[in-house]
Amino acid sequence: MFLPTSHAVESSSYSPPPCQQFTFSQIELATRGFDESLVIGRGGFGRVYRGTITSGATLLDAAIKRLESTSNQGAVEFWAEIEMLSNLRHSHLVSLIGYCNEGKEMILVYWNEFIEREAESFLLFLIELVKDK
């Protein structure tokens, strides 16, 4: 399934591709089998995992949100979020890069730009620190 986007991310040289469908196997690989040590948050939808996923030819740091069976949210909210975030791209909004809707699984995959920006900033800081010595 291809959902078009209308705006590019302005804050980085990388712009996530339009929303893509991932297989459950890809998600399991990205989260190392939903390893609990990779949980970076919990919400009404379920747990959010930090993972690494391939999007096109690019390896991305991702935030992967998995619907829990006990959640009050469901298919309506899942598809609404995909529709909304697939059509909006802005530097102040999270970038949805894909989803998985396989069997009973409903999973949203976001580009974890914050983590990538922080890593880049830290690397630049280290380079400057070394240059100053």
Annotated binding site for ATP: 65
Q: Which amino acid type is present at position 56?
A: G
Give 114's pLDDT tier (boundaries 50, 70, 90). Answer: low
Annotated binding site: 65
Q: Are 68 and 34 in contact (CB under 8 A)?
A: no
What domains does the chain contain, in order, with CATH numbers? 20-132 (3.30.200.20)
In tens, the pLDDT along 26-44 reads 999 999 999 999 998 888 7
What span, in angstroms and rounded, lies between the C-alpha atoms of 123 and 129?
10
What span, in angstroms and rounded, lies between the C-alpha atoms of 116 and 112?
7
Higher pLDDT pick, 39 / 117: 39
What's the confidence (pLDDT) of residue 6?
33
- How many CB atoms sit inside 10 A of residue 24's CB? 13
pTM of the predicted structure, to 2 decimals:
0.70
Higher pLDDT pick, 91 / 69: 69
Q: Are 67 and 75 in contact (CB under 8 A)?
A: no
Q: How many CA within 13 A on the CB side of residue 127?
A: 6
For residue 97, give every residue at least 6 positions away whose Cβ sits within 8 Å of its Cβ, in sequence order, or none. 16, 17, 19, 20, 53, 55, 60, 62, 109, 110, 111
Exposed, middle or buried by CB within 10 Å (0-12, 13-18, 19+), for 127? Answer: exposed
What's the confidence (pLDDT) of residue 59?
85
Higher pLDDT pick, 98 / 129: 98
